[in-house]
C-alpha cells in the first residue's frame, strides 16, 4: 500500500500555489477573447505585452487610472454572485479615462483573497472578460494573491489598472469652460461603485433589510438593486463630434459636489439644478431612512447622474440627443465650486 501523500507545507499554511496555477490555465480562453493583434506574448508571463500602434494619431498621450469597487464586494459576498463586481471594476476604470477623451487599450486586475475558490475566481474573470470585450479593451494580465489571515473567510478585494490613449489635440481638459456653458447629466444605473458603506449601514443595520428583501415601493430586491452594474459611458461619449464637449466629470466618490470642481477653471462655478431630473428611488430611500442631510447625499452618492458633460449653449440640444442626457445646470462666474440649487 502506498503511503498517503503529505500535503505541502504552504498549503497547510493556507496558500495553494498549485490550485492558483491550475485556475490561471483554465481562464486562458476568457482572457484571449479580449485580445487583438496588438497583444503580444503568452498569458501568464511576468508582464503583459501590448504593441504601441496608434494609427493616425499625431501626438498620442497615454492615460492611466487605478481603482477598486470598495465595499460593494460585501454585497457580492452576501448574494454569492461575483461576475457583476468584475464588470463594475472595468467600467469604472474605463469611465475614469474617458473623461479626457481616451479610449481604453488594456486592463490589469488584482484579486486579493483569503483562499482561492475556483467558482468565485471563474465568475470574477468572466465579469472582467465580458466588460473588457464590450469596451474594446484587452485584459493582458493580473495578480491573484492568496493572503490567509488578511481577509475574512470567503472574502476578497479587487483593484484594477487601465491604460488608454488619446490624441493630444483632442484631449478634453475643461480649459475652455466659461460662464454661460451648459451642464448635461447622463443617467446612472443605481449606486455604481460608491457610497456602499453608508448604504449598507442604512439598509441592513437601520432598516433591518436583507439582500433578499424587497426594496420598499419596488418589485426589485435590495441585493439586485445594489449589484446593478456600473455603466460604461465611453462608447456613448465617443459619438459626440470632436471639440463639442468642453469638459467631462465621472461622478464617483464625492458626488457632484467634489467631482465637478476637478474640471472647472478657477473662475467658474457649476450651478446644479437638482430638480431638473428625477432622483432614483434607491437614493430617496437612503436619504429618508438614514436621515442624511440632502446636501451630503450629493457628496456621497451620484444621485442618478453618473457622468457630466459641459458644452456651449449652442451645442446643447444636439448633444443632449446624442448622449441621451438631460440639462441639469449651467456655468457661471465663481471660484471653481459646485453649487446646488436644492
Domains of the chain (ranges plus CATH)? 9-170 (3.30.1330.10), 182-341 (3.90.650.10)
- Give me the phi and psi of 274, to 5 degrees please: -65, -15
Q: What is the pLDDT of residue 270?
A: 98
Strands (E), 14-147: 39-40, 49-50, 60-68, 103-113, 138-146
11 pLDDT above the threshold of 80: no
Given pLDDT bands bounded at 50, 70 and 90, which one contains residue 29?
confident
pLDDT of 103 reads 96
Higher pLDDT, 4 or 251: 251
What are 324-334's pLDDT values in tens digits? 999 999 999 99
Average pLDDT, the chain: 92
Q: Tell me: pLDDT of 45 over 90.
A: no
- In a 3-state reduction of DSSP, which class is residue 50? strand
Query: Which candidate, 320, 317, 295, places its Cα nearest to that of 309?
Result: 320
In this predicted structure, the answer to whether residue 125 has a pLDDT above a threshold of 80 is yes
Taking a C-beta distance cutoff of 8 angstroms, is the pair 97, 198 a contact? Answer: no
pLDDT score, position 289: 97
Assign 22 a pLDDT band (cuts: 50, 70, 90). low
Top-confidence residue, 284 or 55: 284
Sign of CA dihedral 193, 121, 144, 15: positive
Residue 118: is it exposed, middle or buried by C-beta count within 10 angstroms (0-12/13-18/19+)? Answer: exposed
Closest by Cα among 133, 127, 320 to 227 = 127
Greater confidence, 79 or 54? 79
In this model, does residue 107 exceed pLDDT 60?
yes
Q: For position 19, what pLDDT does the model report?
A: 62
Cβ-based neighbour number of residue 224 at 10 Å:
19
Determine the straight-line distance between the first and last CA of the chain, rounded to whole angstroms.
Answer: 79
Q: Output the nine-digit C-alpha cell for 17.
A: 500555489
Helix-, strand-, coil-residue percentages of the chain, each rounded to 5: 35, 25, 40
Torsion of CA 186, 187, 193, 194, to 10 degrees: 90
pLDDT of residue 126: 94
pLDDT band per the 50, 70, 90 thresholds, residue 253: very high
Q: How far apart are CA 260 and CA 254, in angstroms?
A: 9
At which residue does the C-alpha cell 497615454 appear? 62
- Whether 156 shows a pLDDT value over 60: the answer reads yes
C-alpha cell of residue 49: 505585452
Tell whether the model's pLDDT for residue 6 goes beyond 70.
no
pLDDT above 90 for 229: yes
Split at pLDDT 50, 70, 90, the class of 116 is: confident
C-alpha cell recorded at residue 304: 442618478
pLDDT in tens, 257-305: 999 999 999 999 999 999 999 999 999 999 999 999 999 999 999 999 9
Ranges 40-44, 139-143, 219-223: which has the least confidence: 40-44
Query: Residues 6 or more apart from 280 whose CB is under 8 A from it?
Result: 188, 190, 303, 304
d(CA 186, CA 248): 11
Amino acid at each position: 500500500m502506498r503511503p498517503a501523500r503529505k500535503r505541502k507545507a504552504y498549503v497547510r499554511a493556507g496558500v495553494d500555489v498549485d490550485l492558483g496555477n491550475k485556475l490561471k490555465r483554465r481562464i486562458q480562453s476568457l482572457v484571449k477573447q479580449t485580445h487583438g493583434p496588438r497583444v503580444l506574448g503568452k498569458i501568464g508571463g511576468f508582464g503583459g505585452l501590448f504593441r504601441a500602434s496608434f494609427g493616425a494619431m499625431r501626438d498620442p498621450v497615454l492615460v492611466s487610472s487605478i481603482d477598486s469597487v470598495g465595499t460593494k464586494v460585501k454585497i457580492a459576498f452576501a448574494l454569492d454572485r461575483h461576475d457583476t463586481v468584475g464588470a463594475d471594476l472595468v467600467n469604472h476604470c474605463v469611465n475614469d479615462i474617458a473623461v479626457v477623451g481616451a479610449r481604453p487599450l488594456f486592463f490589469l486586475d488584482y484579486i486579493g483573497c483569503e483562499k482561492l475558490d475556483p467558482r468565485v475566481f471563474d465568475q470574477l474573470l468572466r465579469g472582467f472578460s465580458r466588460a473588457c470585450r464590450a469596451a474594446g479593451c484587452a485584459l493582458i494580465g493580473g495578480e491573484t494573491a492568496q493572503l490567509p489571515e488578511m481577509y475574512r473567510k470567503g472574502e476578497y478585494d479587487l483593484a484594477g489598472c487601465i491604460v488608454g490613449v488619446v490624441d493630444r489635440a483632442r484631449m478634453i481638459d475643461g480649459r475652455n469652460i466659461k460662464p454661460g456653458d451648459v451642464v448635461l447629466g447622463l443617467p446612472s444605473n443605481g449606486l455604481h461603485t460608491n457610497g456602499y458603506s453608508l448604504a449598507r449601514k442604512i439598509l441592513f443595520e437601520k432598516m433591518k433589510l436583507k439582500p433578499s428583501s424587497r426594496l420598499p415601493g419596488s418589485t426589485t430586491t435590495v441585493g439586485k438593486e445594489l449589484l446593478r452594474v456600473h455603466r460604461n459611458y465611453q462608447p456613448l461619449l465617443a459619438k459626440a463630434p470632436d471639440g463639442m464637449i468642453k469638459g467631462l466629470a465621472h461622478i464617483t466618490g464625492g458626488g457632484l459636489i467634489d467631482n465637478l470642481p476637478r474640471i472647472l477653471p478657477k473662475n467658474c462655478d457649476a450651478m446644479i439644478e437638482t430638480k431638473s431630473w428625477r432622483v432614483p428611488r434607491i437614493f430617496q430611500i437612503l436619504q429618508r431612512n438614514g436621515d442624511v442631510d440632502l446636501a451630503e447625499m450629493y457628496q456621497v452618492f451620484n444621485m442618478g447622474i453618473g457622468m457630466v458633460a459641459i458644452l456651449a449653449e449652442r451645442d446643447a440640444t444636439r448633444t443632449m440627443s446624442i448622449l441621451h442626457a438631460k440639462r441639469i445646470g449651467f456655468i457661471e462666474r465663481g471660484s471653481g465650486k459646485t453649487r446646488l440649487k436644492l
